Structure 1
Amino acid sequence: MGAPIANEVNASRSASSASHYVTVVAVFCGLLLISNVAAVKPIEIGSLIFDGGAILFPLTYVLGDVLAEVYGFRRAKRAIWIGFFLGAVASLCFFAVDSLPAPDWAAENAEAFSMALGFVPAIVLASLCGYLAGQLLNARVLVSMKRRSGENALWSRLLGSTLVGEFADTLIFCMIATAIGPFIWADFWNYFLVGYIFKCAVEVIMLPITYRVIAFMKAREPSYSSASA
C-alpha cells in the first residue's frame, strides 16, 4: 500500500509543479502581449516621453526573474521563446486584419484600428528584438550569479540581471525604432534614459513582492532543487 500512496503523492507534486509553471508562463505572456499593444501610444509627462508599454512591461521582468530563479535557464528560455512567437503572431494578425477591407459603415472604426494597431514593421522589429535579447540576458545573468552565490544575496541577482536585461532591451528597441522607425534622434536619449530608469525603478519597487512570489514558488515546487540548469 505504501508504494501506491507514495506514487500518488509524487504525481500530485509533479502536477502541482507543472501547473505553477504553466500559470507563470501564461501570465508572463499575457503581460507581454498587453504591454506591446499599450506601447503604440507615446506618453508625455512634463518633459518626459515614454511609450505606454513601459507601464506594464517591467512586470514581465519580475516574472522573468521568477522563472529563472525557480525553474532555471532552460525553462525560462522556453517561456521567453513562447512569448516571442506569440508577440510575432499577434503582430501578423493585426497586420492581416488591418489589410482586409472593412464595410462602408465601419470605415471610421477601421481607420481607428489602423491608427492604433496598424502594422509598423520597425516598431514590431524593435520590440521583438529588444524583448528577446533583454529577457535572455536577464535570465542568463541571474542563473550565472546564482551558481556562484547559491541561495544567498537574491536581491543582487534580481537587480543585477534587471540592470543588464533592461539596458539591452531598451537600447535595442530605441536604436531600431529611431534608425528605421518613427522615432527621431533628437528624442533618442529621452526615450532611452527615461525608459531604462523607469523600468529599473519598477523592479526595485517590486522587490518585496518578487521576494515573496519566489519564496512561495520555491516552497511548492518539488522540482526546484534540480531547476538550476
Structure 2
Amino acid sequence: MFASHRMIMFFGFDMPGGAASFPLVYFIANIIQEVYGYKRIRQLLWVIIITQIAILCMSLITLYFLPAQEIPMPIYNILHRVSPNMTHDQMYSIYSGLYNFILGQNIRNVIVNLFAIFLGLFANAYIFGHLKKMTNGKLLWFRTIGATCIGEFVFTLIFVLGAFWGQFHNMTLMH
C-alpha cells in the first residue's frame, strides 16, 4: 500500500508501485490456504483488516495534531537551497502542507485498501478453493495462478479506481 503512492513504469505501462508485490502476497495466501485451510486464510484476512484500521487511526491522530515548529534538517536544507530567502514560517507552511498531502493520501488509500483487500483476497480464496474441488486437489500451479489472477484483478480494479480516481488522467487509470 505504501509503495502505491509512486507510479512506476512496468513493462511499458504506468502503474502503482505496489503492483509488483501483489502477486507475491496472493501466492503466499494461496500457500497458506493450501497448507492450513480456508479458516486460517479468513483469520489472516481479519488480521490484515485490523492492522489497516490501526494504520488509519494512527494517520488520523497524527494529522489532527499540528507538527512541531522544528523542521527536519533534510527538508530544511532542500527548501533553503530552493529559496535561500524563505522565512521559517514559509518553510513551515510548505512542510506542513506536504506532510498533510502525503498522509492525507495515505488515509484515502487505507480506506480503499480495506475494501480492496477484503474483496480481492476473498475472491482469491474462493476461486482457489473452488478450483481445488474441480481438480481433486491436483494442479497446484493452475489453482495458484488462476486464483491469483482473479483475486489480483479484483483488488487492482477496486484499489486503482478508488485511490487514483480524479488524480490521474482516465487513460492512465485504464492502463
Is TM-score (shorter-chain normalized) higher than 0.5?
yes
Superposed CA offset, 1:4-54 (max 9, x none): xxxxxxxxxxxxxxxxxxxxxxxxxxxxxxxx1121222246852111212
In the other structure, the counterpart of 1:92 is 57
Q: Deviation at 1:96? A: 1.6
Partner of 1:64: 29
* C-alpha contact (below 8 Å) 2:5/2:16 kept by paired residues: yes
Which residue of the other structure, out of 155, 180, 189, is the alignment partner of 2:174? 189
2:100 maps to a residue whose letter is: S
Aligned 1:66-215 pairs, distance under 5 A: 66-106=31-71, 107=92, 110-119=96-105, 121-179=107-165, 181-190=166-175
After TM superposition, give the deviation of residue 122 of structure 1 in Å: 4.1
Q: Against the structure 1 CA distance between its residues 118 and 176, is the aligned structure 2 distance closer, same or farther, given a 3 Å change threshold?
A: closer
Shift of 1:118: 2.9
| Native 8 Å contact 1:94 1:119 kept in 2 | no
Contact in 2 for aligned 1:38/1:52 (Cα 8 Å): yes
Shift of 1:119: 4.3
Note the alpha carbon deviations across 1:146-195, whole angstroms, 9 max, x for none: 1232331111110110121111111112232354x5233221211xxxxx
Structure 1 residue 143 displacement after superposition = 1.4
- Structure 1 runs not aligned, ≥5 long: 1-35, 191-229
C-alpha contact (below 8 Å) 2:128/2:143 kept by paired residues: yes
Q: Distance in 1 between matches of 2:111 and 2:169?
A: 17
Q: Distance in 2 between matches of 1:45 and 1:119?
A: 22
Question: Per-residue deviation at 1:110?
Answer: 4.8
TM-score after normalising by structure 1: 0.59
Give 1:189's aligned amino acid: M
Please state whether the residue corresponding to 2:168 is helix, strand or coil: coil
Q: Percent identity over the alignment?
A: 25
Specify the SS of the correspondent of 1:105. Answer: coil
- Aligned partners of 2:168 and 2:112: how far apart in 1? 11
**Number of residue pairs aligned between Structure 1 and Structure 2:** 154
Structure 1 pair 168/118, CA: closer, same or farther in 2 (3 Å)?
Answer: same
Separation in 2, partners of 1:115, 1:178: 14
Specify the SS of the correspondent of 1:176: helix
1:103 alignment partner, SS class:
coil
Q: Deviations over 1:61-115 (max 9, x none)?
A: 1211111111111210110121022112212212221231112113466555434
Partner amino acid, structure 2, of 1:88? I
1:72–1:143 contact (8 Å) kept in structure 2: no
Cα distance in structure 1, aligned partners of 2:13 and 2:104: 25
Mapped to 2, the partners of 1:149 and 1:45 lie a distance apart of: 33
Secondary structure of the residue that 1:104 maps to in structure 2? Answer: coil
